[in-house]
Every structure is written in C-alpha cells, then in structure tokens.
Amino acid sequence: MCECWCLQNCEVCIMAVSSNDLFGPSSVGVVCDLCTFRMQSYADLFLLTRDIRPVNTEGVSLIGESYSKCRDTLIARTKGLAIAAREVRAQLVMGRLKEAANAMKQLTDLVVHITECSSHAAYLAAINDPGSRQAVPGIIDRYKISFAKLNIEHSCMTLQHTPLVELSPSDIVDLSANIVRDLGVLTSASLLASEASDEVFHKEQFKLSMKSVTACTSSLLASIKRYKVTLDERSRTRCITFCKPLVQSCQAFVDYASEPEHLGNQADISENGKQVQTAILGGGMSVASSCIQLCHFTRAAAFDYNNPDLIQRLTVCCTAVMDGATLLAQALRDRSSPRTIPPSASCPHLNHAE
C-alpha cells in the first residue's frame, strides 16, 4: 500500500507522491518568498500611497470606470479568498507540498487583483464625494509603469531562485512572454511620453532611457533562449547576470518617468472623500497583510507540517483572511470604516511579518 492520502496502491497516487518528493520544503519556501514579494510590493504601490490617481492597469481596465461595477467585482473576488486560503492549509496539512504551493500562487494572483482594484475603487469613491475633483493625467501613468516594472522584477526573481529541476522549457517560455508583455507596456509609455513632452531634453531622455531597458531585455531574452535548450546551471547563471541590469534599468526609467512634472495633477478630495478612500484602502490592506502572514506561516509549516502549533497558526490566519475580506466588502458597501473586525484581533502575529 502506498503512502499517499487515498491509501490505495494506484499509479496516480504513486506519481503524486513522487512529485511531492521532488518538490520539497525548500521549493515551497521559494514559492512563498516570491508570493510575499508580489503581495507586499503591490500593496506598497497601490495601498500605502498618498498619490490619489486612477489605476489603469490591464486587470482594472476590464472593470470599467463605474464605482458600482468595481465594488461588485471586488466583493465577488473577496468571496473566493477564504476558499483559496483554506485550500493552502488543507493541502499543506496533507503533506501535498506542490499542491499547497500552487494554491498559494493562486491566492497571490487573487490578492494582487484585489489590491489594484481596491486602489481604483478608493479613488472612484473619493472623487464622487461632493467637493472633490478628479486627477488630471500627465504624460506618464505612474501606476501602470510601476506595475509593469514590478512584474519584470518578479519574473527575474522567479528565474533566479526557482530550483533548476522545476523550470521546464514551458515555464521558461512563459517567463519570457511575461517579460516581453511588460516591456511592451514600458515601451508604449515611453513613446507616448516622448511625443507628448514639450521639452527637447525630455523627448530624448525618454527615448534613451527606454533604449537602455530594451538592450538589457534583448540580452536577457537571448540568454533565456539558450537556457531553454541547455537547461544547465551555467546558462541559468548567465540569465541571472543579465537580469540584474534589466531590473536596474527598469527602476531608473520608472524613477525618471515618475518625476512630478510628468505625472499631471493628483485628485483633490474633500475631507469626507479622504475618509472614504482610507476606509477602502484599509480594507484592502487587511486582506493583503493577512495573506502575507498566511504565506509566512505556510513557509514555516512546509518544513514541519506535523507541528500542531504551526497548523493552529495557519488556521488562525485563514480566519484573519476571512475577516479582512469581510472588512473590505463592508467598507466598499458602506464607504466607511466600521473597524468592527480588526485583523490583528484574529491573527496576533499579523503585525510581525518577516
């Protein structure tokens, strides 16, 4: 009889056990580190900001400019958070590390989408308050280029830290496609800004800074193409070498493009509008922070998933995720912050993320 969870000596179960033998605690740790980076960096960008502007990323553009539609979409998304969180815990308790890691990736995708949509919903709610004025766009959309830069950085980190045996040729193709997609966002933004700028210096600087990004991307993609064929450590090391200047050049472009003179004017909102914005952003942060903590304890439990204390902490953090989702949904409905369900009360470790 095999040691899988259905307790039957079947080929499917034996294959599942073999897969999890290859995918060990260290692999879960890498996935959790990457997921933590995504959730934390996007929360920093969209939720912990004083830059009151609309969010025009691809995920938000599908929702439209209506607050009611954005609100309803967000509330529907929050209902899936509890299910996703419990799935992470359930797979981990059963020792299915690869499945737990995949569930964490799906939860992270959901959190990122909720984060960017929460920021946009907060903006729409705030400017709809009497006495508020909407933002005036500049030649650069800061959120859009920063989002693309973070996506490129995440792809480079995935390439650098994922164990060699877990990077299949199809995974490498997907990473390349993601980098090319986000490079397209930066390139388009640079070209439009260069054309729209009134100063010769800025027209040329946008072009030159983007040439730097494009050159670094070409070098990396050539190395990735070689790596896809060889799948050896030397080729992977070469990819990592070219990841570094790409991330640095993207950061330089975003820093330059985000100078105040390129961004237009942020929204001017009333005091009540500020309270509405804070309530919704606070709800989004409750979701993000509780999921980051769940990720933290998932990483720890992967190395000792028979530890009852760690399993209990996972349970508590799943409850915190549910509470955060409830708080966000209530803030969206009421456009206020009741703070009847503070996440820290559900998960005492919430404010001590590592």
Distance CA 256, CA 175 (A): 26
Location of structure tokens 């509008």: 273
Distance CA 135, CA 138 (A): 9
pLDDT at 112: 96
Q: Half-sphere exposure of 167 toward its Cβ, with a 13 Å CA cutoff?
A: 27
Residue 182 tokens read as 């986000």
Segments of the chain scoring below 70 in pLDDT: 1-22, 64, 336-354
pLDDT at 23: 82
Largest Cα–Cα distance of the chain, in whole Å? Answer: 75
pLDDT at 4: 40
pLDDT at 335: 78
- Number of residues that make up the chain: 354
pLDDT at 168: 87
Task: Kindly report the number of other CB atoms within 10 A of residue 184's CB atom.
Answer: 11
Q: For each of the domains in the chain, give its residue range(s) and CATH number, in order of start.
A: 24-135+268-354 (1.20.1420.10), 137-265 (1.20.120.230)
Task: Indicate the pTM of the whole model.
Answer: 0.86
pLDDT at 277: 93
Distance CA 223, CA 170 (A): 15
Distance CA 343, CA 65 (A): 30
pLDDT at 342: 42
pLDDT at 129: 87
**Listed residue (138, 161, 141, 160) closest to 149, CA to CA:** 141
